[in-house]
Structure 1
Amino acid sequence: MIEKHTIEQIVEQYMEDHRLVLTDVKVNKANNIKVFFKALDRPVCIDDCVALSRHIEAGLDRDKEDFSLMVSSAGDNTENNDNEIDNI
C-alpha cells in the first residue's frame, strides 16, 4: 500500500518551488489517492492540477504498485465526496 507520507515527500519540494500548499492527502487500501492543494498567491488552475499529477506519477512506480490518482484544488467540490474514496 502506498503511504500518505510517501505522497507528502514526493510533493514537498514541488510545492515549495511552485508556491503551492498541500492541504490534504487521502490514500485508501486500494491505493486510490486524493491530493488537495491551494496556491499561496493566486487561484489554482487546471494546469496546476495536471502538472502536480504528473509530478506525483513520476515519483511512483506503477509496475511495483498500481494506483489511481486524483489531484484537486482545496476549494473543489469533490473534496466534499470523501466517502467516494472508501467505496472505490
Structure 2
Amino acid sequence: EVVPRVRRFVATTQCEPFDRVYNFGGFTDGDRAAIIAKRFGAKKIVLYGFDFEKGEGLKLKKLKWARKILELEGILDAPGQGSTQRIH
C-alpha cells in the first residue's frame, strides 16, 4: 500500500514483480544494484567489497552466483576471458 504513494523511487524484488515493483534480475543486493545501474545506462560500474573467493557456506554460494550473474550480464569479465577486475 505504501509503494504506489511514493514518488521518485524504484522498488525492486527478487520475486514476481507487481505494480511499480520491478525485478531487474540479480541474486544479491550488490549484483542487483550493478544490473540496475547498467540498465539505466551507467557508463562505469565499480564494485567495492566484492571478494568472490572469500566466505563460507551459504555466503560463498551467494557470491559465486553473484559473480556468474555479473559475468552473464557483461558487467564482469568471466575467468579466462581477461581480467576479472574490469568492471563496465
TM-score, scaled relative to structure 2: 0.28
Greater relative contact order (Cα < 8 A, sep 6+) = 1
**Normalized per residue, which structure has more helix?**
1
**Bigger Rg, structure 1 or 2:** 2
**Normalized per residue, which structure has more strand?**
1
TM-score, scaled relative to structure 1: 0.28
